[in-house]
Amino acid sequence: MIPISWYLLLSATLFCLGMVGFLIKRNVITVFMSIELMLNGVNLSFVTFAHMWHKVNGQIFVFFVMVVAAAEAAVGLAIIIAIFRARGTLAVDRIDLMKL
Amino acid sequence: MITVALHHGFIFLPKLWLIPLLPFAGFLINGILGARLPKWVVTAVGLIAPAWSFGLVAIAAVTVITQGPRVLPMAEDLGSWISAGSLHVDFRFVLDQLSLTMLLIVTGVGFLIHVYSVGYMHSEKGYWRYFAYLNLFLFFMTLLVLAGNVLLMFVGWEGVGLASYLLIGFWYQKTTAADAGRKAFVVNRIGDFGFLIGIFLLLGNFGSLDFADIAAKLAMNPGWAGGILTTICICLLIGAAGKSAQLPLYVWLPDAMEGPTPVSALIHAATMVTAGVYMIARTHFLFDRSPAAMTVVAIVGAATAIFAATIGLVQTDIKRVLAYSTISQLGYMFLGCGVAAYSAAIFHLMTHAFFKALLFLAAGSVIHGLGGEQDLRRMGGLWKKMPVTFWTMTAAVLAIAGFFPFAGFFSKDAILYAAFLSGTNGKIFWAVGLFTALLTSFYMFRLWYLAFLGKPRSPEVHAHESGWSMLVPLVILGILSVCGGWIGAGRMGAWLAPSVGAHTVEAANNNLEIYLSVIAVAVAALGWLIAHLLYREGSKRAEQLASTFSAPYRLLLHKYWVDELYSKAIVKPLLAISRFVLEWIVEYAILGGLAWLLSGSAVFGGAVLQRWQSGNLRSYAAWLAAGAAVLLVFALAPYFLGAYGINVKWAGW
């Protein structure tokens, strides 16, 4: 049996990878994928704890997260396409019209 | 909620609250709308308010006379004003013999002067403003007189000070007028400070501010005298000395002559400056228990009387002569109060209101006729050109000099007689008063000769008699100056006795009073004679005398250098302290520094924190992540540290 801590470590690793990707990448699509990665890292720890405590709460949370992530992906991709059409770029640093 | 406490059934007395309220309504109408109203409306409003008030007072007086004095005192409660703990102050108006007498003077003379002002101020730009202020003054003055407790009186007291300030500085474009207004206000504040301390002491010692309550509490303790009562009386005296221009706070009154002349007549001669005398008479039950304070009152009064009279001898501005004369006469009233002759003091207050208002109004008529000339040396020979002014002025001069049977004779005589009979110091007070009478007679006739007799000294000015609205008040006041004293000190004392106590000393023999009267009239005649010798037409003796006694002459001409002394000893050091300590250290260093520190830290904090708001999405995300990391460390630290035996008690674990 694989110990719980391994799952948790994997979850933390995934989350950190996603976070680092979010912070250092400029392309909006990559940033978007990094967010998905972080969400999945969190999902993994939810499932792990659900398994550990023999409760389904964590797994239900995972479904919620997946639903939100799917909706977010749909809306987010639509926004990305709109931005690309309007600005001709996907670099987050250049999308700064709201800045003072 | 008006409850009228009457001793007996149905007696028609007017509502007291209407008396102050009518002038206040006039003030509101003229003050708010006056600039847009046509002039005749302003005049009508300005005159109807005091006339109506006077009508109400007259009705009350007639009622009292026909029904007998049993209807007095009448109290009117208009609800509670302050109710905090053991302190209760009501809006209470009290009408008794004293306040009724005072009201008759204030509203009666006040109305006449309103009428006079219509003529005197007719071409002024601030006509409506003038009448608004004048009505405001009447509101506060009647409030002061009717007040049933010290605090309500103090409201009126401060209010008349405000009205006085506004009217002295009526021509505010003139620096001297604006300064004079400020000076009057500041000097009065010194007096008011004493008055306030007196009020606090009254509250602390009697637990009430109601005149009747305090009198009742004193009556219950017949042995209580001196001590704290002396302190209270001295504090009240300081207040009275400020308002009534007594030594050493008299300096504002001569400068107050910068205001329009009718204002000088109403506020700075007839009514407001007598508020101090009224206040002492109103609180006489306190003064009666403190012989020491009474002596101080008498000394202040006598000293002021002679001091101001000597200055009045040499002044050349017609209004300033009258101003010093007012201070001197107020000194008489204080002397009267100081020898417990309150009714004589109030009697003199009344006759003085008549003849001094008349003197000022006549002087105003002269100034008006000469196109603004106030210097006696440039007048002369006016009696032919201004006959009505001349004859009424003559009546007033005879009255103030104390000639029989003019009004001033009776009241001044009553005070001198009471002073003569009062204790060991009485003879000194009497002698000072008598000498002051000599000086008074002299400087009044000097003014009379210089202004009206002889040849015109400035022929280029074409004097003209004033209009009827100015002459009618002159004539009425002239009649009052002649007849106002015929009521007699004895009847006046009997009338006022319920309010101020019966202090009339029975003469050992009636001849004494007659002897003293004869001496007083002789002294007045002597004053006239000296003035005649010095100032009749063609006499050069006045100049000779001035050059012979040049040192005393200059001393008097410069008013004993009191203003300069006050300026050097009090005003300048105070200004220096204000500038260096208050302005630079307190204002700039402490307060300014504090404000600068607060605003500076906010600005600095803003400058630092605004860098956070970069608008860069990834920097926000990084801060978010960093924050989350810190929280994580914070939450997990107890576990890690606990492993090494370090017990951290944060975050509730």
Contact B615 A98 (CB under 8 A): yes
Q: Are B150 and B87 in contact (CB under 8 A)?
A: no
Contact B618 A92 (CB under 8 A): yes
Averaged pLDDT, B544-553? 81
The answer to whether residue A22 neighbours chain B at the CB level (below 8 Å) is yes
Q: With 60 as the cut, is the pLDDT of residue A100 above it?
A: no
Query: What pLDDT sits at residue A76?
Result: 92
Tokens matching residue B475: 């004539």
Of the pLDDT bands very low, low, confident and very high (cuts 50, 70, 90), residue A99 is low
| Nearest alpha-carbon partner for B419 in B431, B407, B408, B409 | B431
Please tell me which of the candidates B615, B618, B621 has its beta carbon nearest to residue A99: B615
The answer to whether residue A83 neighbours chain B at the CB level (below 8 Å) is no
Instruction: Collect all residues of chain B within an 8 Å Cβ-Cβ radius of residue A92.
Output: 617-618
Which residue has better confidence, B323 or B423? B323
Residues B50-105: tens digit of each pLDDT: 999 999 999 888 888 888 777 778 888 888 888 888 888 888 899 888 999 999 99
Q: How many CB atoms lie within 10 A of CB B15?
A: 13
C-alpha to C-alpha distance for B221 and B216, rounded to whole angstroms: 9
Contact B622 A96 (CB under 8 A): no
Contact A22 B621 (CB under 8 A): yes
Percent of chain B with pLDDT over 90: 41
Q: With 80 as the cut, is the pLDDT of residue B509 above it?
A: no
Q: How many CB atoms lie within 10 A of CB B451?
A: 25
Q: Are B299 and B334 in contact (CB under 8 A)?
A: no
Distance from CA of A99 to the nearest CA of B (A): 5
Of the pLDDT bands very low, low, confident and very high (cuts 50, 70, 90), residue B5 is very low
Of the pLDDT bands very low, low, confident and very high (cuts 50, 70, 90), residue B8 is very low
Contact A23 B618 (CB under 8 A): yes
Instruction: Collect all residues of chain B within an 8 Å Cβ-Cβ radius of residue A79.
Output: none
Q: With 50 as the cut, is the pLDDT of residue B4 above it?
A: no
Whether the ω angle into residue B248 lies within 30 degrees of 0, i.e. cis, is yes
Please tell me which of the candidates B615, B621, B625 has its beta carbon nearest to residue A96: B615
| Nearest alpha-carbon partner for B305 in B456, B491, B479, B439 | B439
Of A62-71, B296-305, B554-563, the range with the lowest mean pLDDT is B554-563
Distance from CA of A98 to the nearest CA of B (A): 8
**Summary mean pLDDT of chain B:** 87
Averaged pLDDT, B306-334? 91
ipTM: 0.80
Query: What pLDDT sits at residue B7?
Result: 45
Q: With 70 as the cut, is the pLDDT of residue B11 above it?
A: no
Q: With 70 as the cut, is the pLDDT of residue B180 above it?
A: yes
Q: How many CB atoms lie within 10 A of CB B462?
A: 10
Phi and psi for B5 in degrees, rounded to 5?
A: -90, 110
Query: What pLDDT sits at residue B2?
Result: 40
Instruction: Collect all residues of chain A within an 8 Å Cβ-Cβ radius of residue B617.
Output: 92
Mutate to test the interface with A, among B610, B618, B636 (most CBs of A within 10 A): B618
Contact B625 A23 (CB under 8 A): yes
Rg (CA), chain B: 31
Q: With 90 as the cut, is the pLDDT of residue B405 above it?
A: no
Tokens matching residue B312: 């009045």
Of the pLDDT bands very low, low, confident and very high (cuts 50, 70, 90), residue B1 is very low
Q: Cα(first)–Cα(last) distance of chain B, in Å?
A: 67
Query: What pLDDT sits at residue B3?
Result: 42
Query: What pLDDT sits at residue A1?
Result: 78
Query: What pLDDT sits at residue B652?
Result: 56
Q: With 50 as the cut, is the pLDDT of residue B325 above it?
A: yes
- What is the count of residue pairs from A and B with beta carbons less than 8 Å apart? 18
Mutate to test the interface with B, among A28, A38, A80, A96 (most CBs of B within 10 A): A96
| Nearest alpha-carbon partner for B33 in B17, B47, B50, B46 | B46
Q: Are B76 and B21 in contact (CB under 8 A)?
A: no
Tokens matching residue B131: 């009448």
Instruction: Kindly give the residue spans of alpha helices, DSSP state H, lying in B78-124.
Output: 97-120
Residues B333-364: tens digit of each pLDDT: 999 999 888 989 999 999 999 999 999 999 99
Averaged pLDDT, B569-582? 87
C-alpha to C-alpha distance for A95 and B100, rounded to whole angstroms: 87
Of the pLDDT bands very low, low, confident and very high (cuts 50, 70, 90), residue B505 is low
Write the DSSP symbol of residue B87: E
Contact B625 A19 (CB under 8 A): yes
Q: How many CB atoms lie within 10 A of CB B173?
A: 7
Please identify which residue in the block is written with the tokens 């250098």: B561
Instruction: Collect all residues of chain A within an 8 Å Cβ-Cβ radius of residue B614.
Output: 99
Distance from CA of A60 to the nearest CA of B (A): 24
Query: What pLDDT sits at residue B382?
Result: 81
Query: What pLDDT sits at residue B199?
Result: 93
Instruction: Collect all residues of chain B within an 8 Å Cβ-Cβ radius of residue A93.
Output: 616, 618
Query: What pLDDT sits at residue B508?
Result: 52
Contact B621 A98 (CB under 8 A): no
Tokens matching residue B211: 């005149």
Identify the sign of the CA torsion B123, B354, B150, B299: positive
Q: With 60 as the cut, is the pLDDT of residue B234 above it?
A: yes
Distance from CA of A14 to the nearest CA of B (A): 15
Whether the ω angle into residue B73 lies within 30 degrees of 0, i.e. cis, is yes
Distance from CA of A19 to the nearest CA of B (A): 8
Those of residues 599-638 in B touching chain A at CB distance below 8 A are 614-618, 621-622, 625
Tokens matching residue B279: 């206040």
